[in-house]
Amino acid sequence: MKALAKTAAGPGIELTEVPTPEAGDGQVLIRVLRTGICGTDLHIDSWDDWAARTVRAPLVLGHEFVGEVAAIGPGVKDVRVGDTVSGEGHLVCGKCRNCMAGRRHLCIRTIGLGVHTDGAFAEYVVLPETNVWVHRHEIDLDVAAIFDPFGNAVHTALSFPVLNEDVLITGAGPIGMMAAAIARHAGARNVVITDVSPYRLDLARKLGATVALDVSSSGVAEVMPGLAMSEGFDVGMEMSGRADALQDMIATMSPGGRIAVLGLPTGEVPVDMATVVTRMLTLRGIYGREMYETWYGMSVLLQSGLDISPVITHRFGYEQYDQAFATARSGNCGKIVIDWTRPVTD
């Protein structure tokens, strides 16, 4: 089968032929229809320090996808051939304390699809039945392809109640933009999102942000008077991984404010603990999705009218992967979807 793979240690990926996997005991073989490009895939492609430490070539990339079940292995009970499915890309051990307690998103032995084991940038992928999410209602395939990052946004945006609250989101990447849409849908009074990319700030406005602020020219505190805010933001969502963004967020939170942190910094982040303590702020780390409460929430949000489709800005056929990755790396985009049913788009 065709697959996008890291064939050797070093920069670059290539479209190559690899053996088609088979479904073993408790496993599901999925014909891939669409995939989304994640920042993790860009790191692996460029072969930065993290990728060199983490990835072992050869490896098929990709963990954001939607597909159709092609075959099931012995013991599979609840997934049927022909089902439209997405996949939870965190493969857990099922035996550690957190897994046994139903907190699988906290598994200490988590393995990443497309990072530690062959992924979904291919014509077929195999997953355990326990990692397969069946779409029980009609859904756009492009949206279903990005359920993984959509789940990150849902997990972050709904970590704390946002109804009637003033929300600050730092980082208008695709997950930040989806979080803005979720917060507005869930009843936030104001949603302020920050970035330095005019393209992404404009897209964030279309997805529901009350204010999309270019922090290269204006400070976060400057928008508060115009929004009738006097004490600070109630809920923060840090998506950028930047130290200055978290620091600005802490400085503009109201007493008792709550911050969900999804962005991964590349270095140490000095935190003003005096402000955290005296304002009694809560900081909560977010990683991945809760299995499978977040997935249920994603489906219900879409059924109740949430529209995240504007975050998908570019579509490519699988032979156009170079162009797709270059567009994703440029930042002048939202989510990028690769169509595995055709080599090039029209």
Which candidate, 232, 217, 212, 223, places its Cα nearest to that of 172?
A: 212
Question: Among 57, 299, 39, which Cα is nearest to 173's?
Answer: 39
Q: Distance between CA 329 and CA 16 in Å, rounded? A: 22
Q: 278-285: which pairs have CB atoms within 8 A and are 24 or more residues apart?
A: 279/253, 279/254, 279/255, 280/255, 280/256, 281/250, 281/253, 281/256, 281/257, 282/160, 282/257, 282/258, 283/259, 284/159, 284/160, 284/258, 284/259, 284/260, 285/261
> DSSP secondary structure string, 179-235?
HHHHHHHTT-SEEEEEES-HHHHHHHHHTT-SEEEETTTS-GGGGTGGGT-SS-EEE
Tokens standing for 17?
């032929």
DSSP 292-326: THHHHHHHHHHHTT---GGGEEEEEEGGGHHHHHH
Catalytic residue among 40, 170, 194, 252: 40
> Do β-strands 84-87 and 64-72 pair in parallel, antiparallel, or remain unpaired?
antiparallel
135 tagged catalytic: no
State how beta strands 166-170 and 233-238 pair. parallel
Is 64 flagged in the annotation as binding?
A: yes
Q: Which of 7, 16, 20, 43 is catalytic?
A: 43
Does the annotation count 313 as an active-site position?
A: no
287 known ligand binder: yes
Q: Measured between alpha carbons, how far is 306 from 303 in angstroms, rounded to an integer?
A: 7
Contacts of 303 (CB under 8 A, 6+ apart): 137
Say whether 333 counts as a known binding-site residue: no
Residue 286 annotated as part of some ligand binding site:
yes
Nearest to 169 by CA among 128, 226, 215, 124: 215
Q: What are the residue numbers of the active site?
A: 40, 43
Binding site feature residues for Zn(2+): 38, 63-64, 93, 96, 99, 107
